C-alpha cells in the first residue's frame, strides 16, 4: 500500500457544542460533516476542514462526554501544526485569538502556539513546503557557507570511509596476519567494543571543555594510526590492544565532532546540517567497503592497512589551522549551560545534548510580583532561574520559595497536564526557558535522565494529585 499523505487527524472532545464553537466560530473552519462513530453510533463524529473539505487539512473529533485530558507519552503527537501563508497571517490570528480570550505564545522560530478550551495544543507556522531533497540541498548550502562545518563534516566523512575499509580489513587481519578464523575475528570486534566503552569514560569529561578541536583531532588520529601499526604486528595480544585503541578513538571522534557541529551551526539549520552529516557518513562507509578489495589487490593487505591508517592523519595535519579556528569562533551559550549542569534532572545528560538545550534556551526577565506561569494554563516551557527569587503558590495556600539554580515547569511537560501551580516573582527575576519539544526530546531520549525527572515529579506532586 502506498501512502500519499495524511487525510485527516482525529482527536477526542468531551464537549461537542463547545468544540463546534471553537473550531467553527473562533478558528473559522467549516463544519464539513456531523456523523457518528461507525463503531459506536451513540458517539458524535465532527469533521472540520476548509471551504471545500480538501483532504489533508481535515481535523475530526469523537465526542465522549466529560472525557478527561489524556497524557501524551514519549513520541506521541501532542500538538497540531497548521501552515499559514505569511507573517501577517500570524499577526492576524494572534490578535483574533486574543480578542476571544485565547492565550497565545510566540516561539523562538516565530510560530504561534495556543490550545483549544480542552487543552489540545495547536501551532500556526509559516513553513513553505519542502521535499526531502530540498531540505538536503538547504543543508548542503549551510555547510558550504560555514568553513567550520565543512572541516568537521569533511573529516567525519573521511573517517567513515576508513571505517568502511576497516570492515573488510578486520577480516584480513584475522585470517592473513594472525592466521586465525572466525573466533579471532570475534575477538577483534570485542576489542573494538571494549575500547568504545573505555572511551566513553574519558570523553564525558573532555566534552565539557571549551576547546574541543584538539579532542576531535585526537579521536581522528586514534581511529586511524593504530590501523597502520597493525601492519607490523603478527600476534593476537598487541593487535587486540591496537583495535581497542581504534574503539576509543571512534568515541572521541563522534562526541567531539557532534559537539563542534552544534557550536558552529545556527539553530535554524541544525537538523539539516546533521542530515548532511549522516548522509555523508553512510556514503563514506559504503564507498570504503566497496573500495577495500581494490585497495588490497593494489597494495596488498599490509600496504592497505598502512594507507588506510595514514589517510586521515594527513588530512588532520593539513586542516589543523582550520580546526583551531573552530574553537576560537564557536558560539557557546555559557551561562545557561553552567546553569543546566547544576540541575539534578540534567546531571547525567550527555554533554552534546546539554549544550544543545543551552543553545536553544531563551532568556526571560520578569518584574517583581510578575506571574511567570499560572495554574491551569498550558505548559510549553521548562524554566531555570538564573537570578532572583520566586514563589510557587500551591492549591492549599502553601508557598515554596525558589532561587538561583532552581527550576520549575517539568510537571506540565512530562505529565502533559495544565500547570499545577502559579509561580510569581518575589523580586526581579531572570530565567532561561526551554521549549517543550526540546526538553522532552532530551529527557525522554535518555533513560537515566528520564528516571531522575520522574523522581522529581513524584516528589513534587502530592499522592494522587493527577488521578482521574
3-state SS track over the chain: CCCCCCCEEEEEECCHHHHHHHHHHHCCCEEEEEEEECCEEEEEEEEEECCCCCCCCEEEEEECCCCCCCCCCCCCCCEEEEECCCHHHHHHHHHHHHHCCCCCEECCCCCEEEECCCCCEEEEECCCCCCHHHHHHHHHHHHHHCHHHHHHHHHHHHHHHHHHHHHHHHHHHHHHHCCCCHHHHHHHHHHHHHHHHHHHHHHHHHCCCCCCHHHHHHHHHHCCHHHHHHHHCCCHHHHHHHHHHHHHHHHHHHHHHHHHHHHHCCHHHHHHHHHHHHHHHHHHHHHHHHHHHHHHHHHHHHHHHHHHHHHHHHHHHHHHHHHHHHHHHCCCCHHHHHHHHCCHHHCCCCHHHHHHHHHHCEEEEECCCCEEECCCCCCCEEEEEEECCEEEECCCCCEEEECCCCEECHHHHHHCCCCCCEEEECCCEEEEEEEHHHHHHHHHCCHHHHHHHHHHHHHHCCCCCCCC
Same domain, 243 and 289: yes
95-99, 208-212, 289-293: which range is least confident on average? 208-212
170 and 295 part of one domain: yes
User: What average pLDDT does this structure show over 187-196?
Assistant: 91
Q: Assess whether 82 and 163 both reside in one domain.
A: no
**pLDDT score, position 128:** 57
Domain assignment present for 371: yes
Q: How far is CA 146 from CA 286, 290, 318, 458, 460, in A?
A: 26, 30, 18, 45, 45
Q: Is residue 465 part of a domain?
A: no
Is residue 322 located within the same domain as residue 177? yes
Strand partners, 79: 121
Task: Give residue 245's pLDDT.
Answer: 94
**Residue 178 burial (CB count, 10 A):** 20
Q: What is the mean pLDDT of residues 19-27?
A: 92
* Domain assignment present for 467: no
Asked whether the beta carbons of 58 and 82 are under 8 A apart, the reply is no
Q: Domain for residue 47, yes or no?
A: yes
Q: Tell me the residue range of the domain where 153 lies.
A: 132-329
| Total structural domains within the chain | 3
The mean pLDDT value for 21-37 works out to 88
Among 13-27, 152-166, 200-214, where is mean pLDDT lowest? 200-214
Q: What is the pLDDT of residues 96-146, one digit of tens each?
A: 999 999 999 887 677 899 999 988 889 998 865 544 555 567 677 778 888
- Residue 1: inside a domain, yes or no? no
Do 68 and 148 lie in a common domain?
no
CATH label of the domain that carries residue 453: 2.60.120.10
Instruction: Indicate left, alpha or beta for 179 from its phi (over 0: left) and psi (-120 to 50: alpha).
Output: left
Domain boundary among 107, 125, 143: 125
User: Which CATH number covers residue 249?
Assistant: 1.20.1250.20
Please identify, among 329, 350, 383, the residue that sits at the C-terminal boundary of a domain. Answer: 329
Residue with grid cell 585470517, as numbered in its chain: 175
Residue 468 within a domain? no
Q: Are residues 161 and 254 in the same domain?
A: yes
Q: Are residues 214 and 137 in the same domain?
A: yes
Q: Is residue 197 part of a domain?
A: yes
* First-to-last C-alpha distance (Å) of the chain: 40
Cα separation of 239 and 246, whole Å?
Answer: 11
Residue 74 has pLDDT above 80, yes or no: no
Tell whether the model's pLDDT for residue 174 goes beyond 80.
Answer: yes
List the grid coordinates of 464. Answer: 494522587
Statement to judge: residues 383 and 298 lie in one domain: no
CATH code of the domain in which 42 resides:
3.10.180.10
Residues 192 and 103 in one domain: no
Same structural domain, 372 and 441: yes
- If pLDDT is split at 50, 70 and 90, which confidence band does 468 have? very low
pLDDT of amino acid 161: 96
Neighbouring residues of 104: CB distance < 8 A, sequence distance ≥ 6: 93, 94, 97, 98, 112, 113, 114
pLDDT digits (tens, 9 = 90+) for 398-446: 788 999 999 999 998 888 888 888 999 999 999 999 998 889 988 988 8
Average pLDDT estimate for 280-293: 93
Indicate if 35 and 144 belong to the same structural domain: no
Q: End of a domain among 329, 357, 390?
A: 329
pLDDT of residue 467 exceeding 50: no
- Cell readout for 336 is 545557561
From the number of C-beta atoms within 10 Å of its C-beta (0-12, 13-18, 19+), residue 6 rates as: exposed
Give the relative orientation of helices 213-222 and 270-329 as an angle to the nearest 10 degrees.
110
pLDDT attached to residue 263: 76
State the Cα–Cα distance between residues 203 and 255, nearest whole angstrom: 7
Residue 329, pLDDT above cutoff 80: no
Per-residue model confidence as pLDDT tens digits over 359-409:
889 999 999 999 999 988 888 899 999 999 999 987 767 788 999 999 999
Q: What is the pLDDT of residues 85-98, one digit of tens each?
A: 788 888 899 999 99
Worst-scoring range by mean pLDDT, 26-40, 51-65, 292-306? 51-65
Q: How high is the mean pLDDT of the chain?
A: 85
The model's pTM is 0.60
Q: What percent of the chain has pLDDT over 70?
A: 89
Is residue 265 domain-shared with residue 413, that is, in the same domain?
A: no
Tell me the average pLDDT across 209-226.
86
Instruction: Judge whether 21 lies within some domain.
Output: yes
Q: Contacts for 42-49 with beta carbons within 8 Å, 24 or more apart?
A: 44/16, 46/13, 46/16, 46/19, 46/20, 47/8, 48/23, 48/24, 49/8
Return the axis-axis angle of helices 351-360 and 236-264, rounded to nearest 10°. Answer: 0
Q: Which of 61-70, 327-336, 458-467 has the lowest mean pLDDT?
A: 458-467
User: Does residue 307 have a pLDDT over 60?
Assistant: yes
- And the C-alpha cell for 263? 557550536
Side by side, which strands form the sheet with 105-106? 79-83, 121-125, 112-115, 105-106
Amino acid at each position: 500500500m502506498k501512502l500519499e499523505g495524511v487525510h485527516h487527524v482525529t482527536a477526542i472532545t468531551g464537549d461537542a457544542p463547545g468544540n463546534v464553537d471553537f473550531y467553527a466560530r473562533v478558528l473559522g473552519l467549516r463544519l464539513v460533516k456531523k456523523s457518528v462513530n461507525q463503531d459506536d453510533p451513540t458517539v458524535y463524529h465532527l469533521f472540520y476542514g476548509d471551504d471545500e473539505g480538501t483532504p489533508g487539512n481535515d481535523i475530526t473529533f469523537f465526542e465522549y462526554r466529560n472525557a478527561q485530558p489524556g497524557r501524551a507519552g514519549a513520541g506521541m503527537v501532542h500538538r497540531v501544526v497548521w501552515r499559514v501563508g505569511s507573517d501577517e497571517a500570524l499577526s492576524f490570528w494572534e490578535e483574533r485569538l486574543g480578542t476571544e480570550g485565547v492565550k497565545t505564545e510566540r516561539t523562538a522560530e516565530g510560530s504561534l502556539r495556543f490550545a483549544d478550551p480542552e487543552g489540545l495544543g495547536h501551532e500556526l507556522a509559516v513553513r513553505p513546503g519542502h521535499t526531502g531533497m530540498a531540505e538536503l540541498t538547504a543543508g548542503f548550502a549551510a555547510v558550504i557557507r560555514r568553513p567550520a562545518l565543512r572541516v568537521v563534516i569533511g573529516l567525519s566523512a573521511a573517517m567513515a570511509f576508513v571505517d568502511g575499509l576497516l570492515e573488510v580489513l578486520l577480516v584480513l587481519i584475522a585470517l592473513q596476519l594472525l592466521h586465525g578464523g572466525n573466533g579471532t575475528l570475534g575477538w577483534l570486534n570485542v576489542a573494538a567494543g571494549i575500547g568504545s566503552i573505555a572511551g566513553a569514560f574519558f570523553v564525558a569529561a573532555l566534552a565539557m571543555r571549551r576547546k574541543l578541536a584538539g579532542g576531535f583531532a585526537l579521536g581522528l588520529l586514534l581511529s586511524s594510526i593504530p590501523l597502520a601499526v597493525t601492519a607490523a604486528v603478527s600476534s593476537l595480544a598487541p593487535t587486540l590492544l591496537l583495535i581497542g585503541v581504534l574503539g576509543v578513538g571512534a568515541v572521541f571522534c563522534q562526541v567531539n565532532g557532534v559537539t563542534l557541529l552544534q557550536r558552529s551551526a545556527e539553530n535554524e539549520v541544525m537538523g539539516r546540517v546533521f542530515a548532511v552529516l549522516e548522509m555523508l557518513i553512510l556514503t563514506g562507509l559504503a564507498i570504503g567497503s566497496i573500495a577495500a578489495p581494490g585497495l588490497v589487490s593494489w597494495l596488498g593487505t599490509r600496504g592497505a592497512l598502512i594507507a588506510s591508517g595514514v589517510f586521515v592523519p594527513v588530512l588532520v595535519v593539513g586542516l589543523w589551522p582550520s580546526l583551531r579556528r573552530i574553537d576560537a569562533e564557536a558560539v557557546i551559550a555559557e551561562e545557561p549551560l553552567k546553569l543546566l549542569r547544576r540541575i539534578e534532572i540534567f546531571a547525567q545528560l550527555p554533554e552534546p545534548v546539554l549544550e544543545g538545550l543551552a543553545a536553544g534556551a531563551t532568556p526571560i526577565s520578569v518584574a517583581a510580583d510578575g506571574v511567570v506561569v499560572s495554574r491551569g494554563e498550558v505548559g510549553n516551557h521548562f524554566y531555570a532561574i538564573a537570578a532572583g527569587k520566586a514563589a510557587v503558590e500551591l492549591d492549599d495556600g502553601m508557598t515554596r520559595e525558589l532561587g538561583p539554580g532552581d527550576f520549575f515547569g517539568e510537571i506540565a511537560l512530562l505529565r502533559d497536564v495544565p500547570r499545577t501551580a502559579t509561580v510569581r516573582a518575589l523580586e526581579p527575576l531572570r530565567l532561561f526557558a526551554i521549549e517543550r519539544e526540546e526538553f522532552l526530546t532530551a529527557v525522554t531520549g535518555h533513560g537515566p535522565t528520564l528516571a531522575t525527572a520522574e523522581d522529581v515529579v513524584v516528589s513534587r506532586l502530592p499522592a494522587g494529585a493527577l488521578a482521574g
